[in-house]
Amino acid sequence: MSENNERMLREELRAAVNEKDYTVAVEKAEQMANHYEDIGDAKKARESWIEAARLFLEWSKFQRENRTHKNSAKSLVFAADIFSKLGIDTEAAQAIDLAAQDLALAGDEYIVWKQPVGAGVCYATSAILFVLVSQEEKAHQVIDQVRTRLDALRHDSTANSLMELPIQLMHAKNNLDIRLLNNVKTMVYSSLIPALTNSGLAEFAAYIERTILGVENFINATQKYPVIEYDIKMKGEVKVDEAFDIEVMIKNAGEDTAFNIELEMVPIKEVSIVREFSKLKANELAPGASAALTWRCIVKAKDLIEESKQINISARLSFSDSKNLRQTLTVSPIAFSTLSTKEQDQISMELDIIKDNIQKTKEKVLPAAGKAGEKVVAKIFDIIEQLVDQTDGFIEAGAIQNAKSWNKLLQLQLELIGDIPNQIDFDKDEDKDKKEKKDS
């Protein structure tokens, strides 16, 4: 934009202001602000935006004097938008306060026109905007006005439901009731905001949303909640047909007391509860306090297809806060494996046989070692190489777990065999041999 065009724009702005043609005036002021932003002159851009906001304030005053309160409220919102953009929060709040007052007057106009829904939209929005700028006393005044004087509004169900929104919103804020706030939020988005659009007041929707968010943040910052943490204590392996305990340690790591605590196991056919109930209870748990809830369980062989298997179970942990808001957590995984007593007995028998075979083999090999020690040692290593070949076979066949087990076994055998020279006192053995030869 050239200097001549800029000068011309300024003159048009002044002329529009002098003639109280606010539609043109605010348009020219915004053009000036955008121009300075485009050329990077932040100071002049800010001054032009402030001038535009002031023009909106003047325009709203002019509209109010002409008793078009709906339009004056909209002009005030445009001024508030500019002040918020510039970070002038006090001016923005004052503009919203005035807009809320004008909306209440606009509600009166809708009553005269016998349009109760339009009146309900204006009154409800007015009260909510007063909550936004921390003027709840004024919000109550708007609500009381509707309740005591305007029968035409009270007898319309839609308008009446709209008026309940600011009442419930303030109740949720004052009682730190997040559940009630969520209900209000649902109604605002399903009824009030669409009604604002239908009434030509869509500019206020953003401020309604801002109010809801502000109340929500206030509740979350002020409300204290219980936070239940848990830890599972039990054996990793349990014997079939023998009772065992599953202990769940719970701790309240929050700032509010937890009430009516219930821990209920999700049933599965493999696990039976020895005690009568699957649901364990505790009356309350103060902040920082802990408690242990324990099931006595059993896994019966008749309920298993395979007696050795991995079992995973879960539980539901539910509790209430001081506002009687109930929460439910999933306690999972509770994992363990079953160990068959039959398999234990079988393995023990096999091990006894192996022990007996070791002794017999030792008695058989020792005489041969005395006659041909080097050949016996060589044969032992031949056997180890055969085991290595077997491990290679596992790898080629894709039996990786078997190969891993055999590798570990071979490594252990080599470590034990390699330590044999350190365990034999050769001097004593030589003296013993000499003595035996002399005696013979």
According to the model, what pLDDT value does residue 329 have?
94
**Cα 49 to chain centroid, rounded:** 41
Question: Which tokens is 210 given?
Answer: 């801002």
According to the model, what pLDDT value does residue 146 have?
82
According to the model, what pLDDT value does residue 380 have?
76
CATH of 228-339, one of 3.90.1150.10, 2.60.40.10, 3.40.50.12780, 1.20.1250.20: 2.60.40.10
CA dist 74 and 62 (Å) reads 13
CATH 2.60.40.10 residue ranges for the chain? 228-339
| C-alpha dihedral sign at 363, 368, 373, 374 | negative
CA dist 110 and 83 (Å) reads 29
Residue with token string 């005690």: 275
CA dist 62 and 76 (Å) reads 12
291 contacts 228 by C-beta, under 8 angstroms: no
CA dist 84 and 395 (Å) reads 71
Residue with token string 């103060």: 286
From first to last of its 440 residues, what are the pLDDT tens digits of the chain?
A: 557 777 888 888 888 888 889 989 999 899 989 988 988 999 999 999 999 999 999 999 999 998 899 999 999 999 999 999 999 999 999 999 999 999 999 998 988 888 889 999 999 999 999 999 999 999 999 998 887 665 656 677 888 889 899 999 999 999 888 889 999 999 999 999 999 999 999 999 999 999 999 999 999 888 888 999 999 999 888 888 889 999 999 999 999 999 999 999 999 999 999 876 789 999 999 999 999 999 999 998 888 877 678 899 999 999 999 888 899 999 988 999 887 666 556 655 665 675 666 666 666 666 666 666 777 677 777 777 777 777 777 777 666 667 777 777 877 777 777 777 776 665 555 555 555 555 65
According to the model, what pLDDT value does residue 114 have?
84
How buried is residue 195: exposed, middle or buried, by Cβ count under 10 Å (0-12/13-18/19+)? buried
Question: Which tokens is 289 given?
Answer: 């306090």
CA dist 49 and 36 (Å) reads 10
250 contacts 261 by C-beta, under 8 angstroms: yes
* Three-class DSSP category at 292: strand
**Cα 105 to chain centroid, rounded:** 44
Comparing CA positions, the residue from 102, 77, 99 lying closest to residue 26 is 77
**Which phi and psi (to 5°) does residue 264 adopt?**
-125, 125
> Could you check whether the bond before residue 287 is cis, i.e. omega within 30 degrees of 0?
no
According to the model, what pLDDT value does residue 386 have?
79
Most distant CA pair in the chain: distance in Å? 142
Radius of gyration (C-alpha) of the chain in whole angstroms: 43
Exposure string over 147-158, b if 16+ CB within 10 A, otherwise e: eeebeebbebee
The set of residues, in sequence order, having a beta carbon less than 8 Å from that of 385 and lying 6+ positions away, is none
